[in-house]
Structure formats: structure tokens, C-alpha cells
Amino acid sequence: MQLRKLRTKKDAALVRSLISENLTERTFSFATIAEAASGKRVLPLTDDPAHRRVVAAIEKALSHTLAELNAADSPVRKLRRINEASKFFEDSIQKYLAITPGLSCEVPTTRSGQHQRSGYPDLCIVDLESKIVFYLDPKLVEQGSTDSSFRTFYFEPKMKH
């Protein structure tokens, strides 16, 4: 019981501390949040040749994916909600990136080395020439919903153990 009271006091102190930071008035870049949660820095794309190759490959994969999933016989046309199409979208992008010469693309591994489909990021792309690793987490949003007050992306940071 005493331990629970102490925990409650500490939790209340933490909440008061966060409230005093006026977080509703502050914004944080996703790169900052990802680094805080993972200990890994998110680096911006540059004009580096490997970066250009990967961006061009992603653009090509997206073009093929959009054509494929917009086809009259596409399975996504039978779905009720846009977020149900995410797996089709991610699978198609991965398929096209994986067959791109000079790249590999797969579902990232966890710290224990297992491939894990759920979570962030969705895809691990390696430029084989430079050995630079890129992570991609494609997101779908319903057309016209970007001005909505509903969120289009949800991230729950977890501290590494």
C-alpha cells in the first residue's frame, strides 16, 4: 500500500511537471521524438548519390503501386476504410523496391533479430553500393481529410530497454 501511495505521488508530480511545460503550445519535430524514443538520430535526405537513387526508386515504386491499387480489379476498392488499404500499399511498395537493382528492401528486424511487421518503421531499404540504410514508413490518408481535426498519424513512443 505504501509503495502504491509513493507511486501515485510521483505520478502526480510528473503530470504537474508536464502541465507546467505548457506542451500544448510547443511543437516537436518527429526526428526529435524518434531520437528521444530510440536513441537513434533521424538524418535528413541530402543530394548524396545514394539518397537520390533511393528517392528515385521510392518514387517509381509509388507510381507502380498507385497504378496497381487504383485499377478496377484492385482489392482495395472493396475496402470500407482507407487504413485497411495500408497493408496492400506497403506490400506493393516493398515488392517494387525489392526488385529494384542495387537495392534491398524488407521488413525491419527487431532488436532480437526477428522480422516484425507491426510497428515503425514498415520498410528497411539498403542501397547496396553505399550500404546506407533507409527506413520508410508510408502512410495513407483519405483524400480531403488532411484539413480534418482528426489525426492522420499516431505514434506512441516506447523507451528502449
Query: How confident is the model over 59-106, as pLDDT tens digits?
Result: 999 999 999 999 999 999 888 887 788 889 999 999 999 999 999 999
Range of the domain at 81: 48-140
- Percent share of the chain, pLDDT over 90: 40
Prediction pTM value: 0.76
- Residue 33 is classified by DSSP as H
H or E element at residue 3: helix 2-20
Residue 158 has a pLDDT of 64
Residue 161 has a pLDDT of 46
DSSP string, 44-102: PP-S-HHHHHHHHHHHHHHHHHHHHHTSTT-GGGG-SSGGGGHHHHHHHHHHHHHTSTT
Residue 159 has a pLDDT of 57
- One-letter amino acid identity for 32? T
Q: Is a pLDDT exceeding 80 seen at residue 144?
A: no
Cβ burial of 88 (10 Å; 0-12, 13-18, 19+) is middle
Confidence bin at 39 (pLDDT 50/70/90): confident
Residue 23 has a pLDDT of 80
Whether 24 is covered by a domain: the verdict is no
Whether 8 is covered by a domain: the verdict is no
Counting the structural domains of the chain, the total is 1
- The whole-number average pLDDT for the span 10-37 is 86
Whether 90 is covered by a domain: the verdict is yes
Q: Is a pLDDT exceeding 70 seen at residue 17?
A: yes
- The whole-number average pLDDT for the span 32-42 is 85
Residue 89 has a pLDDT of 92
Whether 42 is covered by a domain: the verdict is no
Whether 124 is covered by a domain: the verdict is yes
